[in-house]
Amino acid sequence: MHGRRRQHEREPTADEKVQAQQRVERYCALSTQVAELKAANTYTVEALSLTKQLLEQNTELHSVWNYRRQIFMHLDSWQDMDARQQALERELAFLLEIITKNIKSYWMWNHRVWALGALPRPEWQRELGLVAKLLALDARNYHGWNYRRFVVAHLRAAREDAGAVDEQEFAFTTEQITRDCANHAAWHNRSKLLPAILAQRGEPQAVLQAETDLILNAIYTDPDDQNAWLYYDWLLDIQTSDTDRVRLLRGK
């Protein structure tokens, strides 16, 4: 629905019409078959395979993602932790294959979150690496950043030293900003990390000074970037006021 250029259409040839009709028939046949299996609560390996074929063609079928999850959970192999681990790792690989088809698909990201939650031994560090690669391709990807925060939250929970994770993330945003000081997603993420960083470093004033220098640099680079001014304004605010809003943004 977004970003598709209009083409000046000539009338399709008879052959093209036949091919188009066949594509419709094939898609509808598969879609109907999966719907019938779902309605009959069919939880088999064959049904799993059919859902995969359909989802490869259309990542937006949330009912079919739901059904696919239900099939997984009903198979006998689900109770065997090693089998489940293998199956879900294959599932994560499958998602990675199709993610470029529609990088903004809510349903695909939700399915990945489900798979990570269901894995006996999730590899959060690997997920962090994957999402870093994705963000290298599309630095503003909304789902990517949300997913990164989800992964980081798990890393924090698993480590004794949650502060180290925060520092790592803070450094990641510094890297992003150094590459492109107009990366608003990185500045935003930084705004969420800064209160924790201030709390855990020995010299918060030094942190704030460094932060001020960083944002002023961004402002000099592009004075028309309104968001840089907003960030600077916020930095001043958290140092000087104690309003409800400031407390809220400091996470209190």
Partner 1 sequence: MEPTDPRSTLLADKHVEFIKRLDKKHDELEYWMTEHLRVSGIYWGLVALFLLDKPAALDHQQIVTYILGCQNSDGGFGGHTNHDSHLLYTMSAVQVLLMLGALDQIDTKRVTDYVVGLQRDGMVSGDEWGEQDTRFAFIAVAILSQLGTLEQLDTQGIVDYVRSAMNYDGGFGSGPGGESHAAQVYTCLACLAILGQLHVVDRERLSGWLAERQLKCGGLNGRPQKLEDVCYSWWVLSSLEILGRVHWVDRQKLCGFILSAQDEERGGIADRPGDVPDVYHTCFGMAGLSLAGFKGYALKPVDPVYCMPKDIVERAGLGSWTDKVPESWRE
Binding site for partner 1 (CB under 8 A): 1-6, 20-21, 23-24, 27-28, 31, 35, 39, 57-58, 60-63, 66, 69, 106, 110, 113-114, 140, 142, 145-146, 149, 182, 184-185, 188-189, 191-192, 225-227, 230-231, 234, 245, 248-249
The rounded distance, in Å, linking the Cα atoms of 50 and 34 is 7
Q: State the DSSP H helix or E strand holding residue 133, giving kind and residue range, or none if neither.
A: helix 124-137
Closer CB to partner 1, 106 or 220, in the complex: 106
- Cβ contacts of 71 within 8 Å, gap of 6 or more: 43, 44, 47, 48, 51
**∠ CA 145-59-139 to the nearest 5 degrees?**
25
Closer CB to partner 1, 20 or 199, in the complex: 20
Closer CB to partner 1, 78 or 114, in the complex: 114
What angle, rounded to 10 degrees, do the helices at 124-137 and 142-158 form? 160
The burial class, CB within 10 Å (0-12 / 13-18 / 19+), for 230 is middle
Q: How far is the CB of 31 from partner 1 (least distance, A)?
A: 7
Closer CB to partner 1, 84 or 183, in the complex: 183
Whether the Cβ atoms of residue 38 and residue 63 lie closer than 8 Å to each other: yes
Closer CB to partner 1, 53 or 82, in the complex: 53
* Distance, CA of 184 to chain centre: 16
Q: How far is the CB of 50 from partner 1 (least distance, A)?
A: 16
Q: How far is the CB of 62 from partner 1 (least distance, A)?
A: 7
Q: How far is the CB of 152 from partner 1 (least distance, A)?
A: 9
The rounded distance, in Å, linking the Cα atoms of 4 and 72 is 36
Q: How far is the CB of 160 from partner 1 (least distance, A)?
A: 22
Q: How far is the CB of 61 from partner 1 (least distance, A)?
A: 5
Closer CB to partner 1, 2 or 10, in the complex: 2
Task: Report which of 109, 201, 132, 206 is spatially closest to residue 163, judged by C-alpha positions.
Answer: 201
